[in-house]
Every structure is written in C-alpha cells, then in structure tokens.
C-alpha cells in the first residue's frame, strides 16, 4: 500500500468508482471528492501530495480548482484529466501550474506512471521542505546561542572590570561564584587557594549540603594543570576539579559537585569563558599583592 493519499476529484460517480478500484488494486490510497467545492473543503483540512482531477466539472471547474489549490497548498501536485476538444485545455492547465495531464481514454498503466512520478516528485519536495525547515531552525538556534554568548561575554567582562577595584580575595571571587551558581547550577562547590609563603592550600569557600574533605585529601593541587573528573570522595555522585592558573602559577582550585549526572562539562565554551575571566581577576589581585609585599619589604 502506497501511504500517500491521492485525492480523486470527478463529478461522475461511476468514473470515481472505476478509478478508485483500479488505483486501490495497484496499492494507492485514494480519497474522493465529487466536486471542486468538496475538494477545496478537503484540501483546507488535509494535505494531499497529489490531486487527480477532471478538468470539465460543473460549478468549480478543474482549472479553477487547480488555481485555488496552488494558492492554498502550493506543495500539492495536480494531475488533470482531459478528454474533450483539443490539447489547448491541457496546455492551459500546465501553464496554470498543473504538474502533468493525462488524456482520455487512458490505460491504468499510463495513469500509474504519471501518479508514481508525481508522488515521487511530491516526496522530494517534502524532503526539501523538511530540510529547509530544519536548516532555518538550526540557524535560529545558532543565532540565539550567539546572542546569549555575547550577553554572557558582556556580563563577565563587567565582573572582570569591577574586580580591578577589589583588594580582598573573597569579595573579588564572590560575583564570579554567584555567576557560576546561576549559570551552571552545581549542587555544591568549593574554592581552594594557595599560600605560596607556606606552600599550603586552604578552603576559601565551601558550599553545599555535603561535608568537604580535608585539604590533605586532595594531594598535590599545584600539580593539577588540566580540568579532570573528581576522584576524591566528596559525597557528590559527579564532580570536577578545575585548576585556575596563570602558566605555571596556581591561582586557585575550583571543585564542582553534582547530585546525579549533569550536562556540565569543563570544555563547555561558556565555562571556559568564565574560567578565563576568573583567572584574569585572580591574576590581577595576585600581582597587586605581590607588588604590595615587595614595597613593604624592599630588601
């Protein structure tokens, strides 16, 4: 059975019955309309890839039906049946947008060839239509993503600019961590910072319902150069350790915990942007503090 329905339009019941029987026997799905008016009502409710219509009908003629269908559903292909006078009527129908015509009397095989060609053409048109719709959807999605990313760049640039006025670590990192929480929604996070004078690390921020492990459990944090999945027991089912660095200088260590598998991953473009801006803010404070120490201890 050919699933695409063909709409058969003819005012003569015996003609419709004969054609429907012949087409159904060859595997086509056929629906009928006994007038142009009835056909238009059916087309208004349902798409028919191929419409087979007689040209000469009382009321709305086949040619008028063809023109109306082209206006209402341009992707429907009309095949007209002509059996009177000369070829002028069929040629006129082609000029008005008919896909093809068949002249009475005709063999079922002739009609089958025309309908198969029309159905295949309709299938290709639908494929192109779906591709175009998918392409438009992807372009719109990509445009929205670019706009959202641009907005995020502006927000993080504003945070970085504001960080230049901070001389303490906690108020400097708080806006960045607030952005991290709202943007990536971790269930818990911790920020560890180094003390280069004592070669040790300590928690600056710990949040979430789980108890974070002792600093010693993390091992040599200075040796971690790339983001990695968390291997230390934190109580969260999923987590990541993300070093914040400037070259060989460790600035901080971020640990993110998630209850259940999340869609977050450190290679996410938005997170990498956040990480770079956070590192820039930390580096600025690091340099300012180093300068202050040198000024305080010129020896």
d(CA 182, CA 244): 20
Write the DSSP symbol of residue 264.
-
Structure tokens given for 262: 């999340």
Rounded Cα gap, residues 261 and 289, in angstroms: 39
Torsion, Cα of 211, 212, 216, 219 (10° steps) = 140
User: CATH number for the 2-130 domain, one of 2.40.50.100, 3.40.50.2000, 3.40.50.2300, 3.30.420.40?
Assistant: 3.40.50.2300
What pLDDT is attached to residue 86?
60
Q: What are phi and psi of 236, to 5 degrees?
A: -95, 145
Start-end of CATH 3.30.450.40 domains in the chain:
164-296
Query: Quick check: 271 and 254 in contact, CB under 8 A?
Result: no
Residue range(s) in the chain whose domain bears CATH number 3.40.50.2300: 2-130
* Fold classified for 164-296: Beta-Lactamase (3.30.450)
Q: What is the mean pLDDT of each run of 10 residues along the chain (299 residues)?
A: 80 90 89 93 91 90 90 89 73 86 85 90 85 86 85 92 89 94 93 87 93 93 93 91 93 93 86 95 85 67
3-state secondary structure of 60: coil
The overall longest dimension of the chain from CA atoms, in Å, is 113
**What is the predicted pLDDT for the residue at 298?**
62
Find the DSSP H helices in the chain: 13-25, 36-45, 62-72, 88-95, 108-163, 169-184, 269-296
pLDDT of 85: 53
Residues 99, 91: Cα–Cα separation, whole Å: 11
Closest C-alpha among 266, 252, 227, 264 to residue 173: 252
Of 51, 116, 61, the C-alpha closest to 92 is 61
Closest C-alpha among 173, 171, 133 to residue 279 = 173
Residue 244 CB-density burial (10 A; 0-12 exposed, 13-18 middle, 19+ buried): buried
Token pair listed for 104 = 């009475």
């Amino acid at each position: 059975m050919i699933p695409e329905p063909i709409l058969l339009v003819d005012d003569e019941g015996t003609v419709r019955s004969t054609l429907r029987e012949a087409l159904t026997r060859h595997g086509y799905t056929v629906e009928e309309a006994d007038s142009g008016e009835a056909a238009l009502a059916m087309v208004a409710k349902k798409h028919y890839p191929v419409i087979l219509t007689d040209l000469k009908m009382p009321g709305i003629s086949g040619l008028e039906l063809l023109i109306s269908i082209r206006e209402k559903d341009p992707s429907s292909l009309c095949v007209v049946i002509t059996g009177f006078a000369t070829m002028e009527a069929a040629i006129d129908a082609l000029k008005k947008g008919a896909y093809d015509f068949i002249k009475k009397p005709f063999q079922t095989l002739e009609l089958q060839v025309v309908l198969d060609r029309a159905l295949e053409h309709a299938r290709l048109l639908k494929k192109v239509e779906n591709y175009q719709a998918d392409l438009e959807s992807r372009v719109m999605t990509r445009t929205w993503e670019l706009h959202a990313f641009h907005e995020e760049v502006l927000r993080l640039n504003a945070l970085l600019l504001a960080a230049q006025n901070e001389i303490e670590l906690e108020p400097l990192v708080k806006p960045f961590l607030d952005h991290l929480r709202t943007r990536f929604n971790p269930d818990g996070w911790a920020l560890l910072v180094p003390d280069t004078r004592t070669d040790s690390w300590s928690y600056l921020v710990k949040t979430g319902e789980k108890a974070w492990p002792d600093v010693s459990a993390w091992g040599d944090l200075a040796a971690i150069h790339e983001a990695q999945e968390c291997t230390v027991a934190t109580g969260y089912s999923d987590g990541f350790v993300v070093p914040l660095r400037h070259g060989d200088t460790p600035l901080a260590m971020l640990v993110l915990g998630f209850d259940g598998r999340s869609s977050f991953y450190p290679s996410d473009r938005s997170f990498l942007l956040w990480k770079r801006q956070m590192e820039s803010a930390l580096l600025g404070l690091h340099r300012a503090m180093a300068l202050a120490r040198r000024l305080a201890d010129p020896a």
